[in-house]
Amino acid sequence: MYVSFFAYLYNEVFLLPFAMPLIDQFLSYIQAERRYSPLTVKSYRRDLERFESFMAKEYELPDLSKASTPMIKTFLVSLKDGGLSNRSINRMISTLKTFYKFCLREGFVEKSPMFGIKNLKQPKNLVKFVSESDINKVSFENCEDYTIKRDELLFELLYQTGIRKAELIGLRDQDVDVIGMKVKVLGKRDKERFIPVSRELLEMVGKYRSLRDERFPVRADRLLLNDKGEEMSPYFVYEKVHSMLESVTTLKQKSPHVLRHTFATHLLDEGASLVAIQKLLGHSDLATTQVYAHNTIEQLKKIHQQAHPKGG
């Protein structure tokens, strides 16, 4: 009896943790320690399982720690031959680099097989944004209705602060500082930042809260709620924004992230510095923010070509 118990204890404590598949160990790491979002973890899993399937089929090598640089290059070529875009392949490269960095750190590999593998060149697509004139076309009925006031505040928070969809959903009442005229936002990897807001936006928050509290005495601990007094889902927010933009813009993409791009582009057009915009958006790297500068320059080129007598 005692022998079987200690055998069980040995398996549980010493053997089972190491029996966990390598991919699962990596995903647990980025979720628990790096605090990556569930969607990001899901994306990493999809990429790695695709790579694992290729390695098993082409090389009969299910152990990814045994993969070599030539094998990985062959895998990337197969993705290109399969019609995958350079952008998608670069995402795969990023996934594999992060994965093998983890493997190197944990001692599963002596050298990363991703060493020397560079991203593919891809065209610089201009960031899509809504023009100021089209933004001003978005209107809401002037009445004391919870749903209308909620939708209006949802739209204005996204456009006036540039926060992400997930950040909007996570806002709580105490995150709105009326006296300091700012909003506290919990961004990626639980990084906090503060975004200044206008007096008009704070008045909208106050009116909305009164209607919300009256309608939902018992509710979720969130600033914005759905029609049942519960936390909004990502799809709920997307549908609201898509509906609002549908009648005012011909852009194919009508998502909350477009309002984030719009916020940054309009700030830059009004003379804000890239460093200031970087802090407001919560970008860790200024290079990520510089896409808006490129966007503005390209727009100026287009205007010049259209308006100048010799521009074309």
**Marked catalytic residue, from 91, 188, 219, 279:** 188
Q: What is the dihedral of CA 159, 160, 161, 165, to 10 degrees?
A: -30
| Secondary structure E strands in the chain | 176-177, 182-186, 192-196
**Marked catalytic residue, from 50, 193, 219, 257:** 257
- In the block, tokens 């023009």 appear at 131
**Marked catalytic residue, from 164, 212, 240, 254:** 164
Known catalytic residue: 8? no
> Are the CB atoms for 245 and 138 separated by under 8 Å?
yes
| 72, 187, 216, 284 from 192: Cα distances, Å | 38, 6, 28, 12
Known catalytic residue: 128? no
Known catalytic residue: 164? yes
> Are the CB atoms for 267 and 280 separated by under 8 Å?
yes
Which of 288, 291, 267 is closest to 277 using CA atoms?
A: 267
**Marked catalytic residue, from 149, 260, 261, 266:** 260
Helix pair angle (38-59, 69-81), 10° resolution: 100
Q: Enter the DSSP assignment of 14.
A: I
Known catalytic residue: 91? no
- Mention every residue, 6+ apart, whose C-beta is less than 8 A from residue 183: 157, 161, 163, 171, 175, 176, 177, 194, 195, 197
Known catalytic residue: 292? yes
| Catalytic residue positions, numbered | 164, 188, 257, 260, 283, 292
